[in-house]
C-alpha cells in the first residue's frame, strides 16, 4: 500500500535538481532552539548563543557517484573526504576544530584497504590541525560511502553567510577554476581507453596539476588567513563545489541581487585550457570554470572600500561586481550571457 502511495503523483528527482530538492525537503522546518542561529541554507549550520559561534557541516561521498575506485587511491580518497568538508568551514570564514567520520563499506574492502583510507584522513587532520572526534562504521551491500561532519567556530562579527552581498560589492575568487573537472575528464578518458584495451598503460604525464586538483583538493584556509591579515571581512562567501555559475546564483538569490562577472577575468590554468582543447574543439575552458565544480576555491564579495586592500592579494582575482539586475557574464565582445546552473540529477 505504501509503495502505491509513493507511485501516485510521482516526481522524478531529476525534475527538480539538487538545490530545488533540498528546498522542497526542508520546507516547513523552522528553528525551535534559540541556539540555532542558521540552519539549512548555507555552507554550515551556525549554532550557539555566545560571541563565538559553532559551525557544523557534513559532506557525503558515495562510490560510483562522487568517486570511482578505478582511479581513486584510497589515501587520496580519505584526504579528500575530510578536505571537502573542511572547505565549508573556510567558506564561513571559520576555523576547523574537529571531524566525525562515518563509513559504510562492503566486504570487498580489506582491513588494510581501510587503514590506507584512514591514513589519508589522518594526513588531512594533521595538515589542518583538526581532531578526529568519533564516527560510525557499518556494512554496505556494495561499495563504500563516506560521510564527514566537520566542526569549527568563528567570531560572530566575522561570520560570512551567502546572504550579505550588497550593491556594487566586488566579486572575488581564489585560485583558478575548472581544473578539478579537467582532471576528472583526463581520468575518465584514460579509464575508457583501458576498458577498451586492458593492456593499455595510462598516459598521465603533464597533467599533474589538474589531477591533483581533482584527487586531492585543499580547503582554502590560507585565503581566510590572508583576508584576516588584510583586515577584510567578506560581505558574502561560498566555496566553489558545484561550479562558479551555481555558486554565484546562490549568493545572488540569498542576497537578493544580481551580478556581472567578466569572462576574461575568470582565472583558468593553462593545463585546464590544454585539456579542453584535447577533448573537443567546442569545449571552452570558461565552461569548465562555470559548470565543472569540485575546485573548492572561495568565491566572495567585498565592499568597494576594500579595493586597495584586495587588489594585490596573491591568488585572489576580482572578476566582477554585484548589481541590481540579473546574474550575467560579460564576454570580451561586451555581450551578456545569463548565468544558469547546470543542475544535478540523482544517479542509480
Return the C-alpha cell found at 49: 548563543
**Which residues, in sequence order, are CB contacts of 103 under 8 Å at separation 6+?**
114, 117, 135, 136, 137, 138, 144, 145, 146, 147
Q: Are 267 and 326 in contact (CB under 8 A)?
A: no
The pTM of the full predicted model, rounded to 2 decimals, is 0.91
Q: Give a yes or no: residue 119 inside a domain.
A: yes
Q: Are residues 154 and 195 in the same domain?
A: no
What does each of the 348 residues of the chain score in pLDDT, given as a tens digit? Answer: 455 555 667 877 777 767 677 777 767 677 767 777 777 777 889 998 888 999 999 999 999 999 999 999 999 999 999 999 999 999 999 999 999 999 999 999 999 999 999 999 999 999 999 999 999 999 998 899 999 999 999 999 999 999 999 999 999 999 999 999 999 999 999 999 888 888 777 788 889 999 999 999 999 999 999 999 999 999 999 999 999 999 999 999 999 999 999 999 999 999 999 999 999 878 899 999 999 999 999 999 999 999 999 999 989 999 999 999 999 999 999 999 999 887 444 443
Q: Are 149 and 238 in contact (CB under 8 A)?
A: no
Domain span at 332? 170-338
Q: Are 299 and 251 in contact (CB under 8 A)?
A: yes
**Which residues, in sequence order, are CB contacts of 113 under 8 Å at separation 6+?**
74
Number of structural domains the chain divides into: 2
Task: Output the domain CATH number for residue 300.
Answer: 3.90.650.10
Task: Output the domain CATH number for residue 95.
Answer: 3.30.1330.10
Q: Give a yes or no: residue 214 inside a domain.
A: yes
Phi-psi region of 334 (alpha: psi -120 to 50; beta: other; left: phi over 0): left
Q: Are residues 141 and 211 in the same domain?
A: no
Q: Tell me the CA end-to-end span of the chain in Å, nearest whole number.
A: 24
Q: Are residues 147 and 254 in the same domain?
A: no
Q: Are residues 174 and 209 in the same domain?
A: yes
Amino acid at each position: 500500500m505504501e509503495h502505491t502511495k509513493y507511485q501516485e503523483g510521482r516526481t522524478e528527482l531529476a525534475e527538480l535538481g539538487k538545490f530545488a530538492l533540498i528546498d522542497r525537503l526542508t520546507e516547513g522546518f523552522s528553528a525551535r532552539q534559540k541556539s540555532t542561529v542558521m540552519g539549512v541554507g548555507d555552507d554550515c549550520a551556525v549554532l550557539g548563543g555566545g560571541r563565538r559561534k559553532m559551525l557544523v557541516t557534513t559532506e557525503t561521498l558515495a562510490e560510483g557517484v562522487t568517486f570511482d575506485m578505478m582511479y581513486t587511491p584510497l589515501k587520496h580518497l580519505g584526504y579528500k573526504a575530510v578536505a571537502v568538508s573542511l572547505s565549508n568551514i573556510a567558506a564561513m570564514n571559520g576555523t576547523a576544530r574537529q571531524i566525525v567520520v562515518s563509513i559504510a563499506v562492503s566486504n570487498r574492502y580489506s582491513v588494510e584497504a581501510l587503514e590506507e583510507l584512514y591514513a589519508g584522513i589522518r594526513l588531512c587532520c594533521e595538515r589542518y590541525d583538526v581532531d578526529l572526534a568519533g564516527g560510525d562504521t557499518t556494512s554496505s551491500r556494495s561499495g563504500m560511502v563516506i560521510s564527514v561532519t566537520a566542526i569549527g567556530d568563528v567570531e560572530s562579527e566575522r561570520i560570512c553567510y551567502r546572504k550579505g552581498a550588497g550593491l556594487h560589492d566586488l566579486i572575488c575568487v581564489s585560485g583558478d577554476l575548472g581544473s578539478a573537472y579537467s582532471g576528472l575528464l583526463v581520468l575518465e578518458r584514460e579509464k575508457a581507453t583501458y576498458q577498451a584495451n586492458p593492456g593499455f598503460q595510462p598516459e598521465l604525464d603533464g597533467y599533474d596539476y589538474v589531477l591533483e586538483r581533482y584527487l586531492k583538493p585543499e580547503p582554502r584556509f590560507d585565503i581566510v588567513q590572508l583576508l584576516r591579515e588584510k583586515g577584510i571581512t567578506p560581505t558574502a562567501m561560498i566555496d566553489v563545489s558545484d561550479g562558479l555559475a551555481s555558486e554565484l546564483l546562490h549568493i545572488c538569490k540569498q542576497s537578493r541581487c544580481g551580478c556581472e562577472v567578466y569572462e576574461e577575468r575568470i582565472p583558468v590554468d593553462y593545463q585546464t585550457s590544454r585539456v579542453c582543447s584535447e577533448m573537443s574543439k567546442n569545449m571552452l575552458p570558461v565552461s569548465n570554470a562555470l559548470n565543472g565544480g569540485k575546485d573548492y576555491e572561495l568565491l566572495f564579495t567585498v565592499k568597494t572600500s576594500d579595493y586597495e586592500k584586495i587588489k594585490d592579494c596573491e591568488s585572489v582575482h576580482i572578476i566582477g561586481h554585484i548589481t541590481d539586475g540579473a546574474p550575467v557574464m560579460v564576454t570580451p565582445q561586451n555581450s551578456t550571457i545569463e548565468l544558469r546552473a547546470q543542475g544535478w540529477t540523482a544517479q542509480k
